Amino acid sequence: MGVATFLVAVLVGILLLSASASWPPTPGPRIGGGHKISQATVNPPVPGEDKTYWREEAQETLRRQLNLTNTVRKAKNIIFFLGDGMGVGTITAARILKGSQTGRWERESLSWEDFPHSAHIKTYNTNSQVVDSASSATAFLCGVKGNLWTVGVDANVLQVNCTDALNETFHTDSIAKWFQDAGRSAGFVTTTRVTHATPAGAYAHSANRGWEDDAIMVKTGQDPDVCDDIAEQLILKDPGNKFKVIMGGGRQRLLPQSVIDVEEGVGGYRLDGKDLISMWKSDKDSKGVSSAYVWNREDLLALDTANTDYLLGLFAYSHMDYLLDRKPKMDPSLPEMTKAAIEVLRRDENGYFLMVEGGRIDQAHHENKARKALTETLEFDEAVQMALAMTDPLDTLIIVTVDHAQPLTINGYPNRHNDILGVGDVSGVDNIPYTALLYGNGPGYDVTEEGKRPDPSKLNLTDSNYRQTAAIPQSSSYHSGEDVGLWVTGPHSHLFTGVYEQNYIAHALAYAACVGEGLTFCDERKSNGTEGREP
């Protein structure tokens, strides 16, 4: 070997040794967080979580899984829980927040996470990769995907095309109507206006989810005498006028301008002079059925639900208040509304369909107010627990799912048991702390006069109106398009064990409940001669 070759070999060896010594890269200083971690400041583990702990935990989970059995029988009732905007990040963060209150922290579970079956749902629609609540409601309630901002119509109807929306061949009926057609009851509960996007999917057919009353239609250049507004469809048309339970907010859309609201002291929105609340009451009186209209918590809790056939509860002029802003005497909780709804609907011996929406989860996210979004999620969790306690898993299918996600992420490397709503880490670039929760876009975008990020450790993060930082400025956050979760328990819950299109949900539920025009469990029992015999 020549001298030159020897020197090259030595140099290469030195470079290789140097490279191997610096890979992985030498950790830099860590100031409360960041991706550079030194041995002196590495996060301490939670005591007791050694290999024995994790092996025993996994074995117990395996034993539970091995003991699962499918409930193959007709679903007499379906309770459909919809967490609006409740993406995976929201669920994880809410679970940790709940765990901080119970002492279980990251090991905590939300009620539906213990359900035996779950799935991923693809949420795109016919003209957008990212959906809104109306087009997604059309998918999961009606079994058909439609266009952005439309509700209860298929892809032939574009936004604001009133003429096409009148074509009944383009209309999509919901599973709520399928239950009614089968001689069973239906109803819904929401924390938004009862004419808002998600509940509208159960009863309305509209080219624009915003056409909640005739005034907004006139304002947008539409003729309300041609296309009925959503509030009219709820109160005056099938299937809305047959709902046994309607609860939420939104009195403004049902009252004329001449009628002063009982709480707000201002008139309603309607230009046509129709008092749809009074018309609802008159309709029920004319049919000789027992009905109740309530507008506050005290009246709801005092209601004799055992002798009420129809219940209309409107607890706010617009959307119901966030849980953190709610007036205890005036505003019922979502679990209380769920309880009353089940008590009314279960009077039907043939069964019922109930949709319960945690609608303000999404609206808090739109404001980048994570504390409000997560507390709304935990109230939603309590509503699911209420339904589980009041129903029989052998005849009631309970499903929890999501219409779309919001751009909420959990960031950095915060310690275990870190406050999920607090500071989670420090940037290794600008050395400024950042919160564990951040948004991809929305009104939380902010910079100081010096062009730097504000330091959240110097702000009041316990304020319910604190906005987590957003990467892109928007007046209201835009939804995100990733898959969402679905969890289900009860008869035929095993129909959800994979990755599905969002419109599959309605068809699988209809199969289990023996409603609708598609394949049903009861039809299969007839064909194989097992009808009338329980497995």
Q: Helices then strands (H, E): number in the chain?
A: 17, 15
435 marked ligand binding residue? no
Helix (H) or strand (E) holding 511: helix 504-513
Q: Which amino acid is at 514?
A: C
Can you tell me the distance from the alpha carbon of 153 to that of 35, in angstroms, rounded to the nearest whole number? 49
Can you tell me the distance from the alpha carbon of 107 to that of 14, in angstroms, rounded to the nearest whole number? 48
198 marked ligand binding residue? yes
Burial degree of 347 (CB within 10 A; 0-12, 13-18, 19+) = middle
Give the residue numbers annotated as catalytic, written as ranges: 133
Residue 62's region, left for phi above 0, alpha for psi from -120 to 50, else beta, is: alpha
362 marked ligand binding residue? yes
DSSP readout, 33-99? -SS---GGGPPPPPTT-SHHHHHHHHHHHHHHHHT-----S--SEEEEEEETT--HHHHHHHHHHHH
**Cβ atoms < 10 Å from Cβ of 109:** 13
319 marked ligand binding residue? no
403 marked ligand binding residue? yes
366 marked ligand binding residue? yes
CA distances to 140, 354, 380, 383 from 81, in Å: 11, 8, 8, 9
Closest to 358 in 3D by CA, of 384, 336, 330, 377: 377
**Cβ atoms < 10 Å from Cβ of 524:** 13
Interacting residues of 413 by C-beta distance below 8 A, sequence separation 6+: 33, 34, 35, 37, 43, 424, 425
225 marked ligand binding residue? no
Place of tokens 């007839």: 526
Can you tell me the distance from the alpha carbon of 55 to that of 188, in angstroms, rounded to the nearest whole number? 43
404 marked ligand binding residue? yes
205 marked ligand binding residue? no
Q: Which residues are annotated as a binding site for Zn(2+)?
A: 84, 362, 366, 403-404, 479
Binding annotation for Mg(2+): 84, 196, 198, 357
Binding residues: 84, 196, 198, 357, 362, 366, 403-404, 479
